[in-house]
Structure 1
Amino acid sequence: MANYFVGDIQGCFDELTLLLSKVDFNPSQDQLWAVGDLVARGPGSLPTLQYFKALDGAANVSLGNHDLHLMAVHGKIKRANPKDKLEALLASSDIDSLIGWLRHQPLHQELPEHSLVMTHAGVPPHWDISTLRGESKRVTQALQAPDYQEALLEKMYTSGSNQWHSNMDELERKIYCINALTRMRFLHSDNSLDFDCKLSPAECKDPDLTPWFELEGKINKTHTLVFGHWAAVMGKVSSSRIKALDTGCCWGEYLTLWHLETDEKITQNKLKKS
């Protein structure tokens, strides 16, 4: 059995198909792990979700910010961005079933036998594994609740904190967790999340900002940490225990697959439009 981890697909389904064919992916014996942002920007969000849902036990997904945004669009909380190319997905007869499946995906995944953690954007350096599990579970339970739209998705865009502290209320904890695990890039010197700078670490000249993965973290001392979300990083981090897999396929670059057992990265270039 092989474990394959794929970076942000964002609707680039044709590229995903070609990438998996390069490694002869077999869902009857292999496992496919996706760092989130299955949808948006590329033309194939519908077949991407259908494919992962059909994989059933062979698929392991952590939700990304675009996946959560899709839920909000489906619930008419937010309007679809034409650039996300979600028209076919939203008009599909499968949409309710696919949203239902997506709601049951967590914000983080673990592979205990390899001491591995996967999230979409990373893990706050000051969180230990117990905190990650507990806070992620809170959000997962909220997404699966019947009132998830009113109780969480509507509040996701209006409430919450960008800094973790001990006296946060229940909603603030959930919003911080969502922001940290699906949107985090840089942290300020006080460990608060910055949502404005999307540059690469080399391009960012603000001395108050540090990439979260360059700070001494509790989890990456004991675990391999797999993430996506930050295309500007293009897979380049200094620690061998951290695997950055978003390589900007939807922006014209390439899709990356990491084979855990061999520590090999396999790529597929963005297909040119015909």
Structure 2
Amino acid sequence: MAVYAIGDVQGCFEPMRRLLDKLKFDPAKDRLWLTGDLVNRGPQSVETLRFVRQLGDAAISVLGNHDLTLLAVAAGHVKPGKKDTFHDVLDAPDAQELLDWVRSLPMIHHDAKLGYTMVHAGLSPLWDLDTALACGREVEAVLRGPGLQDFLAHMFGSEPRIWRDELQGHERLRCIVNTMTRMRFVGPDGSLCHDQKGPPGSQPAGLVPWFQIGWRRNASLNIITGHWAALGYYRAPGIYALDSGCIWGQHLTALRLDANEAPCCVDCAAMRKVKNHADKGI
């Protein structure tokens, strides 16, 4: 059995299928981890959701910010943005089944046997593993429970920017979501900065990538992430960042987790044309 982790798909269904074919992925015996953002900005969000859903136990995806945005738009709490392309999901005859499946996905996945933890954007430097898992369960419980609509109505916003154990209510849940699905750079105290989206080195003084905080309480973990296309495929001790910019016409990257192999990728140059057309409103 092989276990593969793949970076953000974002509705780029055909590149994902080509990558899985290249890997000779067999759902009967292999397993697939996905870093979230299954939907949006690409042309085939609904096909992506249907495919991953039908893989059943052979696949696990954590939730990304675009997946959560899909839920909020579907519930009518926000309007879709000009660049959002998940209308195919909203218009699908099986839309409700797909949306229910999306909200059943975890915020974080930890496999003690393999020794990896997967989350879309990252883990707060202030969190150890137990805190991170507990925070993920808090959001998952609301997504799957009767408080869903109230949560989605208050999910968006940039405050609070730093985790405190005493946070409560919407502020607590929002901080967890922003940390797990939006984080890139942080201040020296671990506070979130949502304004900087470029590669490391482009940020103002005083900010560092979240995983470079020297006192990080989860530094002993092997963490798999996506989300940061400007970072690209990045590997450092304990960090495996897999968003290599598929939606921007770069690559879709897979890493085998149960064996020491080089990453495998497919070129997504065709997505650049799709992206340019979408940006021009074609």
Same fold (TM over 0.5): yes
**CA contact under 8 A between 2:157 and 2:174: conserved in structure 1?**
no
**CA contact under 8 A between 1:38 and 1:67: conserved in structure 2?**
yes
Question: In structure 2, how many angstroms separate the alpha carbons of the residues matched to 1:144 and 1:82?
Answer: 28
Question: In structure 2, how many angstroms separate the alpha carbons of the residues matched to 1:235 and 1:158?
Answer: 28
What pairs up with 1:32-181 in 2 under 5 angstroms? 32-150=32-150, 152-158=151-157, 160-181=159-180
The range that moved more, 254-263 or 55-64, is 254-263
**CA contact under 8 A between 1:120 and 1:181: conserved in structure 2?**
yes
Q: Over aligned residues, Cα RMSD in angstroms?
A: 1.4
TM-score, structure 1 length as denominator?
A: 0.95
Gaps of 5+ in 2: 275-282
* C-alpha distance 248-167 of structure 1, shift in aligned 2 (>3 A): same
**Partner secondary structure for residue 213 of structure 1:** helix
Among 239, 243, 260, the residue aligned to 1:246? 243
Corresponding position of 1:234: 232
- TM-superposed deviation, 1:271: 4.2
Corresponding position of 2:213: 215
**Partner secondary structure for residue 99 of structure 1:** helix
Gaps of 5+ in 1: none
* C-alpha distance 98-29 of structure 1, shift in aligned 2 (>3 A): same
**Partner secondary structure for residue 263 of structure 2:** strand
TM-score, structure 2 length as denominator?
A: 0.92
**Partner secondary structure for residue 126 of structure 2:** coil
Among 264, 267, 274, the residue aligned to 1:266? 264
Question: In structure 1, how many angstroms separate the alpha carbons of the residues matched to 2:98 and 2:67?
Answer: 11
- TM-superposed deviation, 1:86: 1.7
Question: In structure 2, how many angstroms separate the alpha carbons of the residues matched to 1:16 and 1:23?
Answer: 11
Question: In structure 1, how many angstroms separate the alpha carbons of the residues matched to 2:10 and 2:185?
Answer: 22
**Partner secondary structure for residue 202 of structure 2:** coil
Quick one: which amino acid aligns to residue 174 of structure 1? L
- TM-superposed deviation, 1:169: 1.4
**CA contact under 8 A between 2:32 and 2:59: conserved in structure 1?**
yes
- TM-superposed deviation, 1:41: 0.6
Q: After the TM superposition, which segments of 4 or more aligned residues of structure 1 sit over 6 Å from their partners?
A: none
Is residue 197 of structure 1 aligned with residue 232 of structure 2? no
Deviations 1:197-240 (A, max 9, x none): 00101222x1111100111322231x210000000111134x23
- TM-superposed deviation, 1:189: 2.1
The range that moved more, 113-122 or 74-83, is 74-83
**CA contact under 8 A between 1:160 and 1:171: conserved in structure 2?**
no
Corresponding position of 2:280: none
Question: In structure 1, how many angstroms separate the alpha carbons of the residues matched to 2:58 and 2:219?
Answer: 26
The range that moved more, 94-103 or 78-87, is 78-87
Number of residue-to-residue matches in the alignment: 270
* C-alpha distance 57-164 of structure 1, shift in aligned 2 (>3 A): same
Quick one: which amino acid aligns to residue 116 of structure 2? L
* C-alpha distance 228-257 of structure 1, shift in aligned 2 (>3 A): same
Deviations 1:68-118 (A, max 9, x none): 000001001111124222222210011100010011101100111022100
Question: In structure 1, how many angstroms separate the alpha carbons of the residues matched to 2:169 and 2:41?
Answer: 33
- TM-superposed deviation, 1:45: 0.4
Is residue 16 of structure 1 aligned with residue 5 of structure 2? no
